């Protein structure tokens, strides 16, 4: 899906058909399509039916009710899993050189949440950065969640990842953190144990903990404005004062001050400390 396509708000299904699909998808998968941008979701749905050889939706949904494996595939298709290690390398540099040292000055054991973690690339990138911060003994907790159970299975298995997905990993880090087998890369076993993967619907499930760093990147781009805004409020509430929200390269938190966040650099927002006057964003 390209940004160009997303910019064109052409609805390609009538309301009756889309309402029927939304109802079925919610009851079968728990995914509320009302929260996702309609034009791009409709395009994806429209492309799926011929792909699986069905002429109409009622027949397809009857088939899904009887065939759990196919239901899993359909769910995977609806949730777009593209990801790679150190996605936006310069943002990870800023994370490494400015954000993490600052967070580590405040607290030696960090709690981090990768929300919408796909196959685990983001969470493992985080682990590598923290583990490479040599001045600090590793005692952090990384929670990584996604709505997609099969993406989580992949993540827990530590791969396989393609050469493309690890193209931002330096040769030295590849050698130390990955094992290669048949041109595919696997995160080494001890690293896998350091990240907890859990299924979680970011739009609906409660967020119990407080985190020093929440990473939610390239997830909300698929959400409708209302869903996006209420999600950012819930994410901000899950961050400790002084903690950080790290969003995707094209994502902007609307009116961050309203939810006690201040933008400190492109893609990075800090949760305000009680009584602290808000500063302006760095240019
Ligand atoms: C494009 S991937 C982004 C992966 C990673 N954060 C990155 O930036 O590379 C989007 C992920 O969001 C997940 N997702 C979509 N809707 C979700 C929801 N309601 N709750 C949790 N995860 C969701 C998808 O399953 C998918 O793995």
Name the residue of 116, 151, 195 whose CB sits within 8 Å of the most ligand 1 atoms, as the mutation to test its pocket. 116
Residue whose CA is at the smallest distance from ligand 1 atom 15: 79
Give the residue extent of every domain in the chain: 3-78, 89-271
pLDDT in tens, the chain (283 residues): 333 344 445 567 889 999 999 999 999 988 889 888 888 899 989 999 988 999 899 999 999 999 988 888 898 888 888 899 999 999 999 999 999 999 999 998 999 999 999 999 999 999 999 999 876 678 899 999 999 988 999 999 999 999 999 999 999 999 999 999 998 999 999 999 999 999 999 999 999 889 999 999 999 988 999 999 999 999 999 999 999 999 998 899 999 999 999 999 999 999 998 876 655 444 3
Contact call for residues 56 and 132 (beta carbons, < 8 A) = no
- The span from the first CA to the last CA of the chain, in angstroms, equals 31
Residue whose CA is at the smallest distance from ligand 1 atom 17: 147
pTM comes to 0.86
CA 33 to ligand 1 center in whole angstroms = 14
CA 274 to ligand 1 center in whole angstroms = 31
* 83 Cβ closer than 6 Å to some ligand 1 atom: yes
What class has domain 89-271? Answer: alpha beta
């Amino acid at each position: 899906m390209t940004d160009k396509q997303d910019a064109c708000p052409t609805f390609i299904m009538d309301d009756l058909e889309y309402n029927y699909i939304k109802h079925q998808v919610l009851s079968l998968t728990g995914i509320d399509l009302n929260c996702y941008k309609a034009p791009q979701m409709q395009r994806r749905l429209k492309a799926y039916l011929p792909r699986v050889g069905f002429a109409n939706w009622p027949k397809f949904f009857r088939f899904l009710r009887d065939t759990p494996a196919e239901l899993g595939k359909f769910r995977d298709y609806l949730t777009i899993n593209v990801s790679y290690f150190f996605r936006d390398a310069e943002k990870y540099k800023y994370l490494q050189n400015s954000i993490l040292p600052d967070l580590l000055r405040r607290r030696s054991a960090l709690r981090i949440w990768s929300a919408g973690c796909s196959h685990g690339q983001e969470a493992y990138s985080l682990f590598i950065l923290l583990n490479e911060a040599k001045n600090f003994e590793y005692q952090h907790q990384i929670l990584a969640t996604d709505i997609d159970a099969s993406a989580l299975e992949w993540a827990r298995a530590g791969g396989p990842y393609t050469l493309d997905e690890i193209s931002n990993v330096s040769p030295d880090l590849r050698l130390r953190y990955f094992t290669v087998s048949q041109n595919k890369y696997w995160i080494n076993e001890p690293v896998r144990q350091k990240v907890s993967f859990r299924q979680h619907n970011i739009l609906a499930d409660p967020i119990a903990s407080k985190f020093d760093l929440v990473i939610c990147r390239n997830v909300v781009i698929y959400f409708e404005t209302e869903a996006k805004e209420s999600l950012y409020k819930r994410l901000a509430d899950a961050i400790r004062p002084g903690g950080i929200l790290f969003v995707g390269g094209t994502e902007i938190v609307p009116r961050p001050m309203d939810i006690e966040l201040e933008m400190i650099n492109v893609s990075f927002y800090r949760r305000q400390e009680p009584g602290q006057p808000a500063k302006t964003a760095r240019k």
